[in-house]
């Protein structure tokens, strides 16, 4: 988290330090007014940095690939199904898992803001929250996939889920061929964040990690 | 409101830029903004719909030209000032100058962190039977509320099919303007690409939104 690691943004150093000062000023005001304990902010950041991330979603997907009963339960009520997995962080209500098949590919977007299944995938990447993806995913999903360097057969139906309410969507990608005897742990390593958003596919067996 | 945040279907924003090995936060201040937003929301200073509405209310050229967390920061600050939790003078000074306004759930402390790691509950008990069921053809109303709404412009006036019923949820259009939760039935409604984008649309494309009942009429 260095202040110099920001090549992606169109901000120069002066704006970064200006933002630093402004954010510090707001935090000081909120703390002096007694609204919050700054130590609680540290704890929130730490919790996000250590507890949430695509590894949670990957466990769920790998389990669904190996356990047909769990997969049925997941597609029926993902919140309830995920709650049965002790090692995955707790999830909020109205998590919906949607299954990719040879006939249908699912892709998730939030055109209005940045809704994303934090508990399953962590905080969303910058591109998910930015205008190019939010504007195009609902109109030109194949063009979007091209930007990610992937493509689908032209007859495959594409279903885009715009997260306009407090429902959250997790894509259940197709299990790669050649993994029939694999353990859940090994399978989880193939599940990428983008494959659970629908902008990518799982890694292939033998591909570099 | 018909703001630039409602960008589904717009052209001209360019290629999607993926940052390899993107860190969770690019700077420390981004993480503090996220934490302050979560803490003040959990303490009861505002609800999630109100916080979205303040970001949407930023001038379009500002909304489009700043980074994600800067947008959160500006929205958060505007909202806390408008709701009387802090003063403009305090922001300028960087210190508290007057008394605090009571928070619905009190000061946010380390003990509260655990409960924000799970998303809030938005499901509510039904007040009336559902008007629609899976399989019904519905039209997204041609409405243009001046305040916060979760009905994107690109579906308004178009016909889709109800696919799923999610029960009754807090209605963002009411919650955002502090008019109460006004819970409403929520449905996944699926539209054909050609219905939304015309004959040139990818024929294999289907798009769904989650639509609150007041957004829909029988088609």
**What is chain A's length?**
209
pLDDT at A209 over 60: no
Mean pLDDT computed over B190-202: 97
Please, which residues have CB within 8 angstroms of residue A95's CB and are 6 or more apart in sequence?
Answer: A78, A79, A82, A117, A119, A120, A167, A168, A169, A170
Distance CA A72, CA A116 (A): 23
> How close, in Å, is residue A74 to chain B by CA atoms?
15
- Name the pLDDT band for B120 (thresholds 50, 70, 90): confident
- Ranges A18-32, B112-126, B196-210: which has the least confidence: B112-126
pLDDT score at A207: 73
Q: Which of A17, A31, A113, A151 is catalytic?
A: A113
pLDDT one-digit tens code per residue, A12-64: 555 558 999 999 999 999 999 999 999 999 999 999 999 899 999 999 999 99
Ranges of H-type helices in chain B:
28-42, 48-56, 60-65, 68-82, 88-93, 113-116, 172-175, 193-197
Q: Which of A2, A89, A115, A151 is catalytic?
A: A115
Structure tokens belonging to residue B189: 């409604």
pLDDT one-digit tens code per residue, B8-53: 999 999 999 999 999 999 999 999 999 999 999 999 999 999 999 9
The answer to whether the CB atoms of A166 and B119 lie below 8 A apart is: yes
Residue A96 CB neighbour total at 10 angstroms? 21
Distance CA B201, CA B219 (A): 22
pLDDT at A6 over 50: no
A8, A16, A138 ranked by CB distance to B19: nearest: A8
pLDDT at A1 over 90: no
pLDDT one-digit tens code per residue, A76-128: 999 999 999 876 667 788 999 999 999 999 999 999 999 999 999 999 999 99
Distance CA A53, CA A61 (A): 14
- Name the pLDDT band for A7 (thresholds 50, 70, 90): very low
Is A183 one of the catalytic residues? no
Which chain B residues have a beta carbon less than 8 Å from that of A192? none
Looking at the domain that runs over A53-197, which CATH code has it been given? Answer: 3.90.330.10
A42, A109, A131 ranked by CB distance to B13: nearest: A131
Domain ranges, ordered by start, for chain A: 13-50, 53-197
pLDDT score at A76: 97
Cα dist from A145 to A138, A189, B102, B158, whole Å: 12, 22, 49, 26
Match domain B28-116 to its CATH number in 3.30.70.260, 3.80.10.10, 1.10.472.20, 1.10.3720.10. 1.10.472.20
Is A110 one of the catalytic residues? yes
Does domain B123-218 match CATH 3.30.565.10? no
B27, B116, B117 ranked by CB distance to A1: nearest: B27
pLDDT one-digit tens code per residue, B175-185: 999 999 999 99
**What is chain B's length?**
219
Q: If residue A30 lies in a helix (H) or strand (E), which one and from where to where?
A: helix A13-32
Looking at every residue in chain B, the average pLDDT score rounds to 97
Cβ density class B27-47: b for 16+ within 10 Å, e for less: bebbbbbbbbbbbbbbbebbb
- Name the pLDDT band for B144 (thresholds 50, 70, 90): very high
Mean pLDDT computed over A62-68: 98
Is A151 one of the catalytic residues? no
- Name the pLDDT band for A8 (thresholds 50, 70, 90): very low
Cα dist from B54 to A40, B44, B147, B174, B217, whole Å: 24, 16, 10, 14, 29
pLDDT score at A2: 42
Domain ranges, ordered by start, for chain B: 28-116, 123-218
Is A209 one of the catalytic residues? no
């Amino acid at each position: 988290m260095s202040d110099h690691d920001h090549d992606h943004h169109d901000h120069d150093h002066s704006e970064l330090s200006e933002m630093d000062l402004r954010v510090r000023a707001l935090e000081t005001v909120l703390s002096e007014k007694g609204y919050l304990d700054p130590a609680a902010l540290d704890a929130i950041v730490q919790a996000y940095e250590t507890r949430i991330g695509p590894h949670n979603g990957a466990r769920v997907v790998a389990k669904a690939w190996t356990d047909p009963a769990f997969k049925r339960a997941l597609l029926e009520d993902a919140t309830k199904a995920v709650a049965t997995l002790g090692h995955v962080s707790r999830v909020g209500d109205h998590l919906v898992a949607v299954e990719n098949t040879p006939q249908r590919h699912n892709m998730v977007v939030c055109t209005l803001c940045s809704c994303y299944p934090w508990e399953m995938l962590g905080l969303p990447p910058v591109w998910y929250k930015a205008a190019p993806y939010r504007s195009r995913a609902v109109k030109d999903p194949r063009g979007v996939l091209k930007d990610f360097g992937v493509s689908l057969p032209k007859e495959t139906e594409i279903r885009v889920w715009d997260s306009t309410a407090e429902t959250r969507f997790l894509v259940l990608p197709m299990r790669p061929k050649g993994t029939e005897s694999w353990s859940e742990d090994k399978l989880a390593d193939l599940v990428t964040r983008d494959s659970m958003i629908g902008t990518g596919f799982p890694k292939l067996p033998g591909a570099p990690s | 409101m018909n703001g630039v945040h409602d960008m589904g279907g717009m052209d001209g924003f360019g290629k999607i830029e993926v940052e390899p090995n993107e860190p969770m936060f690019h700077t420390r201040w981004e993480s503090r903004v996220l934490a302050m937003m979560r803490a003040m929301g959990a303490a009861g200073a505002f609800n999630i719909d109100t916080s979205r509405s303040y970001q949407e209310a930023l001038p379009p050229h500002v909304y489009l030209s700043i980074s994600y967390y800067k947008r959160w920061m500006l929205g958060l600050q505007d909202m806390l000032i408008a709701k009387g939790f802090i003063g403009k003078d305090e922001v300028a000074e960087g210190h508290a100058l007057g008394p605090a306004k009571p928070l619905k759930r009190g000061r946010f402390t380390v003990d509260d962190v655990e409960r924000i790691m799970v998303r809030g509950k938005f499901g509510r008990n039904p007040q009336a039977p559902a008007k629609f069921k899976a399989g019904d053809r519905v039209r997204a109303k041609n409405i243009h509320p001046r305040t916060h709404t979760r009905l994107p412009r690109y579906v308004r006036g178009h016909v889709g099919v109800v696919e799923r019923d999610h029960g009754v949820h807090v209605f963002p259009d009411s919650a955002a303007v502090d008019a109460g939760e006004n819970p409403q039935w929520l449905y996944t409604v699926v539209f054909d690409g050609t219905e939304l984008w015309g004959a040139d649309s990818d024929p294999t494309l289907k798009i769904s939104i989650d639509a609150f009942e007041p957004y829909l009429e029988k088609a």
